[in-house]
Chains A and B, each alone.
Chain A
Amino acid sequence: MEEKINFEKLFKELEEIVDKMESGDLPLQESLELFERGMKISKILKKELDSIEHRVEILLKDEEGNLKKEEFKRDTEE
Chain B
Amino acid sequence: MEGKGIEEKQVYSVSEINAIIRANLEYTFFDISVRGEISNFLRYSSGHLYFDIKDEGGKLRCVMFRSYAAKLGFEPSDGEKVIVKGTISLYEKRGDLQLLVKELKKDGLGELQIKFEELKRKLEKEGLFDKKFKKSLPFLPKRIGIVTSPLGAAIMDILRIIKRRYKGLYILIYPAKVQGEGAAESIAEGIKELNRIGNLDAIIIGRGGGSIEDLWAFNEEIVARAIFESEIPIISAVGHEIDFTISDFVADLRASTPSAAAELVVQRKDLIEEKIDSSIKKMENIIKYKIETYKNTLNKLSTHRAFSSFRLNIQRKHFTIDENIKRLTSYILKKVKTEKESLWKLSSRMNNLHPLKRVAKRRGEIEILKSKLSSEITKKIENRGKIIFEYEKSIKKEILKKIEIYRLKLNSLSEKLNSLSHNKVLERGYSIVLKGRKVVKSIEDVEIGDEINILLYKGKLKSKIKDKEGENGRKD
Interface string of B110-153 (1 = CB under 8 A from A): 00000000000000000000000000001110110000001000
Q: Is the CB of B159 closer than 8 A to any CB of chain A?
A: yes
Interchain CB contact under 8 A, B173 and A59: yes
CB closest residue in chain B, given A32: B287
B69 CB, nearest partner CB in chain A, Å: 40
Cβ contacts under 8 Å, A53 to chain B: 142-143, 168, 170
Interchain CB contact under 8 A, A7 and B173: no
A67-B139 CB under 8 A given contacts A32-B287, A52-B170, A57-B173: no
Interchain CB contact under 8 A, A72 and B169: no
Cβ contacts under 8 Å, A31 to chain B: 286-287, 290
Cβ contacts under 8 Å, B169 to chain A: 52, 54
Cβ contacts under 8 Å, A22 to chain B: 282, 286
Q: Is the CB of B167 closer than 8 A to any CB of chain A?
A: yes
Stretch at the interface among B272-280, B303-311, B333-341, B409-417: B272-280
Number of interface residues of A (CB under 8 A): 38
Interchain CB contact under 8 A, A74 and B168: no
Q: How far is the CA of A18 from the CA of B175 in the complex (A)?
A: 45
Interchain CB contact under 8 A, A8 and B139: yes
Cβ contacts under 8 Å, B294 to chain A: 28
Q: Is the CB of B269 closer than 8 A to any CB of chain A?
A: yes
Cβ contacts under 8 Å, B172 to chain A: 57-59, 69
Interchain CB contact under 8 A, A4 and B283: no
A48 CB, nearest partner CB in chain B, Å: 8
Pick from A8, A45, A72, A78: contact of B150, CB below 8 A: A72
Interface string of A12-53 (1 = CB under 8 A from B): 001101100110000010011011001100100110011111
Interchain CB contact under 8 A, B174 and A52: no
Interface string of B399-430 (1 = CB under 8 A from A): 00000000000000000000000000000000
A39-B283 CB under 8 A given contacts A54-B169, A57-B171: yes
Number of interface residues of B (CB under 8 A): 37
CB closest residue in chain B, given A11: B272
Among A28, A32, A52, A60, the most chain B Cβ lie within 10 Å of the Cβ of: A52
Q: How far is the CA of A31 from the CA of B290 in the complex (A)?
A: 8
Pick from B142, B272, B290: contact of A28, CB below 8 A: B290
Interchain CB contact under 8 A, A74 and B160: no
Q: How far is the CA of A69 from the CA of B194 in the complex (A)?
A: 12
Cβ contacts under 8 Å, A28 to chain B: 290-291, 294
Interchain CB contact under 8 A, B283 and A21: yes
Pick from B155, B159, B167, B283: contact of A35, CB below 8 A: B283
Q: Is the CB of B163 closer than 8 A to any CB of chain A?
A: yes
Q: Is the CB of B193 closer than 8 A to any CB of chain A?
A: yes
Cβ contacts under 8 Å, B269 to chain A: 49, 52
Q: Is the CB of B19 closer than 8 A to any CB of chain A?
A: no
A7 CB, nearest partner CB in chain B, Å: 6
Q: How far is the CA of A58 from the CA of B175 in the complex (A)?
A: 7
Cβ contacts under 8 Å, A4 to chain B: 138-140
Cβ contacts under 8 Å, A69 to chain B: 172
CB closest residue in chain B, given A44: B276
Q: How far is the CA of A22 from the CA of B167 in the complex (A)?
A: 32
Pick from B174, B193, B280: contact of A42, CB below 8 A: B280
Cβ contacts under 8 Å, B155 to chain A: 74
Q: How far is the CA of A69 from the CA of B303 in the complex (A)?
A: 72
Q: How far is the CA of A17 from the CA of B284 in the complex (A)?
A: 12
Interchain CB contact under 8 A, A14 and B276: yes
Pick from A17, A18, A42, A76: contact of B156, CB below 8 A: A76
Cβ contacts under 8 Å, B283 to chain A: 17-18, 21, 34-35, 38-39, 42
B211 CB, nearest partner CB in chain A, Å: 24
Cβ contacts under 8 Å, B170 to chain A: 52-55, 57
Interchain CB contact under 8 A, A58 and B156: no
Q: How far is the CA of A66 from the CA of B273 in the complex (A)?
A: 39
Q: How far is the CA of A74 from the CA of B170 in the complex (A)?
A: 16
Q: How far is the CA of A72 from the CA of B151 in the complex (A)?
A: 11
Pick from A18, A38, A59, A78: contact of B193, CB below 8 A: A59
Q: How far is the CA of A32 from the CA of B282 in the complex (A)?
A: 13
Interchain CB contact under 8 A, B276 and A54: no
Cβ contacts under 8 Å, B160 to chain A: 76
17 contacting pairs across A/B (C-beta < 8 A): A4-B140, A11-B275, A18-B282, A18-B283, A28-B291, A31-B287, A32-B287, A49-B269, A52-B170, A53-B142, A53-B168, A56-B171, A57-B171, A58-B150, A59-B175, A74-B155, A78-B156
| Chain B residues within CB distance 8 Å of chain A | 138-140, 142-143, 150, 155-156, 159-160, 163, 167-175, 193, 197, 269, 272-273, 275-276, 279-280, 282-284, 286-287, 290-291, 294
| Chain A residues within CB distance 8 Å of chain B | 4, 7-8, 11, 14-15, 17-18, 21-22, 28, 31-32, 34-35, 38-39, 42, 45-46, 49-60, 67, 69, 72, 74, 76, 78
